Structure 1
Amino acid sequence: MRVETVMLGPEKSHYAGTVQNVSELARIAESARQLEAVGFDGITTPEAGHDPYLPLMIAAEHTQTVRLGTNIAVSFPRSPMVTAQAAWDLQNYSSGRFALGLGTQVKAHNERRYATPWPGAPGPRMREYILCLQSIFRSFQNPKEPCYFEGEFYQFTLLPTFFNPGPIVHPDIPIYLAVVNKYMARLAGELCQGIRLHPIATFGYTRDVIIPALEEGARSTGRAREQLDLLGAPFLAVGRDEEAVDTAVKGLRQQIAFYASTPAYHPVLRFHGWEDIGLELNRRISDGKINTIASLITDDMLDEWAIVCTCDQFADQVKKKSAGLFDSILLDLPPEVRADQDWMRQMIGLIQS
């Protein structure tokens, strides 16, 4: 199983209302080198207060083999051409190590945070977005034979030679789609190279809802499930001893409650019979009571969403809970655990084996 991690991801305190930290170029370079050195197969950057593409330029310069990806870049605030140009350059500068992870975000954040129109349902728009991107990539690689796209939401019908970045050695950029619901899972199976599961997708929901939809989408274009990369990102609470795990669980309850309050993610809660809890979480956050939400996440809910254990149990628990579900896994480890590079190197090797 491939093992990825997050660089510049939000810490647990941010889910309780604190702002993001400011990044420094030297820290990005050092972090990228260290994560490659301990054996991670991939390094990803989120769009959580910072641009997801810019840090990967630094990472590309200071690494040699590790794969680099956005986890995820929000699609709709950027036109397909803007996204295509960033992805094309990163693929070129990294010598073919870039994977483009895309997601829609919810309507309120598109309209009110990104100041972006929301002209229709996100699923059909994302379908066109991916098809348009793929047309742009083909046109970049074959300037004399541009491949245009015309849809309901996106039109790409002009690419003068002056504005074409031109062919690159590794033109096949994998597209991963952020997935929580069946529509996006089918779409990814049909058009993409893989999916990036949101952590809110439980192990059971992934098995019974996401994987069948992914397989259905793959069959529609004559592909097998094995040709696609299902990348899981379970919530984690890990520490050196039980006391450290208990402390991690407190922060994790807050993190899960933050995500579970989002109505767009309530199909997962509905699957488990937890929708009433999701509605209450949403009410509390709307009322400014964000510091009261963690108590609603029970131990049974934690077991469905998370890997909770001490460091010495971690690799075994990851393999046990991921068996039959994930082809790759993203591990967003806490700073105190990431600091032990010898442990990380050993743990990654055990999971990869």
Structure 2
Amino acid sequence: MAAFKVEKVLNWGVAYSPEMQAGGKPRPRWDLMRAQVREAEELGYDAVVGAETQHDPFLAMALAAQEPSRLQLVTGIALAFTKSPVATAYIAWDLQAMSGGRFVLGLGTQVKGHVTRRFGMPWSKPAQRMKDYVGAMRACWTTWQTGGPFDFRSEHYNLSLMTPNFSPPPVDHPHIPVMIAAVQERMLQVAGEVCDGVRLHGIVTRRYLDEIAFPNLKKGFAKSGRPQNDWGNFEISGGGFICTAPDHDSLAHAIEKTKSTIAFYGSTRSYRSSFELGGWENQAAELHRLSVQQKWNEMPRLVNEEMVHAFAAVGTYAVIADVLKKRFAGVNRIGFEIPLRNEHDKGVLKEIIQDLHRA
């Protein structure tokens, strides 16, 4: 069994506020961001992660970088196609300098509807465009570090202007790790070919990992020109949900909540492949139909316990580390958290993280 790097998702300082517990939407507490980093380090985490949902994760990373720490700072994920690759390259360069080389750039495409209708940006050939996007960023970083010419040509981006006035100075840690979110085969191959890692979605099964994710990542990696023995340095994050609780009674409640999560993502056609592998294509089609009709409360009934155990690692705190090591074999980064209501909970979490660090 392999050891894991363990990640904590930054909660904008509001996870345990009265408003959040009551199901509200409180304002972010930016002033608590550094305290979260300190707590994560004390608990034994390896990285903190900021996701782009209601807030910009780069702002959280900038604040987190102000706290002296050993933790990696990861965008997991930031949206790529809503901004120019050069704009993202500037942000990543500064965060790498601010953090002393601890920044990891995680990017994702989002789906067409959000890119075009929420952000008003164009959509085209997502896998090829992401490959070009990563290449364009790396061209920026090479020019800034070496002072060499800036000339990047691809299907989606043709870039040739980078005067000294707009070139930031070199940094001490010029290699910025790039991970991309991937679900479909072509994007998995792009991740393996041009990235340092991949961030897999939660709505995948063990069978998906073995039959789709790992083979296509390795297929892309073989095209990268890197030595085969470097495959061990390629980072694979995620690849399923985690359903855990202190005891069996509370675990039953957690399973019901996980059914709702699976139902929500199962209604999205982009994630259909895992359902088809498990023979649940009819459930996925019905979930999509109900989502179009806004019948969200009816959707969880379509998810049975077999599906929960396929899409999630399920177990009480006492056994969850061993369950995770089996369910996520071949993955080397996972996100793991439990509610921290008292010092006892913190002690339990520390023990689980320590166990996940042991091979």
TM-score by length of 2: 0.91
Q: Which one is further off, 258-267 or 312-321?
A: 312-321
Alignment partner of 1:206: what SS? helix
**Cα shift at 1:204:** 1.3
8 A contact 2:339–2:345 mirrored in 1: no
- In the alignment, what sits opposite 1:188? 191
- In the alignment, what sits opposite 1:287? 293
Change over 3 Å in CA distance of 1:189–1:339 after alignment to 2? farther
Alignment partner of 2:6: what SS? strand
Aligned letter for 1:218?
F
- In the alignment, what sits opposite 2:86? 81
Change over 3 Å in CA distance of 1:233–1:216 after alignment to 2? closer
- In the alignment, what sits opposite 1:161? 164
Q: Which one is further off, 34-43 or 2-11?
A: 2-11
**Cα shift at 1:222:** 3.2
8 A contact 1:136–1:148 mirrored in 2: no
Alignment counterpart, residue 53 of structure 2, candidates 23, 33, 48: 48
Alignment counterpart, residue 351 of structure 1, candidates 350, 356, 359: 356
Q: Please list every run of 5 or more consecutive structure 2 residues that lacks an aligned counterpart in the other structure.
A: 16-22
Alignment partner of 2:174: what SS? coil
- In the alignment, what sits opposite 1:14? none
Change over 3 Å in CA distance of 1:336–1:210 after alignment to 2? farther
- In the alignment, what sits opposite 1:318? 324
TM-score by length of 1: 0.93
- In the alignment, what sits opposite 2:19? none
Q: Which one is further off, 278-287 or 233-242?
A: 233-242
- In the alignment, what sits opposite 1:97? 102
8 A contact 2:150–2:162 mirrored in 1: no
Aligned letter for 2:143?
S
**Cα shift at 1:316:** 1.5
What is the CA–CA distance in structure 1 between the aligned matches of 2:62 and 2:279, rounded to whole Å?
A: 43
**Cα shift at 1:19:** 7.0
Aligned letter for 2:139?
S
What is the CA–CA distance in structure 2 between the aligned matches of 1:30 and 1:298, rounded to whole Å?
A: 40
1:172 maps to 2:172: no
- In the alignment, what sits opposite 2:18? none
**Cα shift at 1:5:** 2.0
Change over 3 Å in CA distance of 1:333–1:87 after alignment to 2? farther
**Cα shift at 1:152:** 2.2
Alignment of structure 1 residues 3-14 onto 2, 5 Å:
3-8=6-11
Aligned letter for 1:47?
E
8 A contact 2:139–2:152 mirrored in 1: yes
What is the CA–CA distance in structure 1 between the aligned matches of 2:99 and 2:40, rounded to whole Å?
A: 16
| Deviation string, structure 1 residues 262-305 (Cα, Å, up to 9, x no partner) | 11111221122212211111111111111211111111111111
Alignment counterpart, residue 240 of structure 1, candidates 239, 246, 271: 246
Alignment counterpart, residue 138 of structure 1, candidates 121, 137, 142: 142
Q: Please list every run of 5 or more consecutive structure 1 residues that lacks an aligned counterpart in the other structure.
A: 12-17
Alignment partner of 1:348: what SS? helix
8 A contact 1:142–1:166 mirrored in 2: no
8 A contact 1:33–1:62 mirrored in 2: yes
1:57 maps to 2:50: no
- In the alignment, what sits opposite 1:124? 128
| Deviation string, structure 1 residues 116-170 (Cα, Å, up to 9, x no partner) | 111x221111111111111011112123x13321222112211111111110000
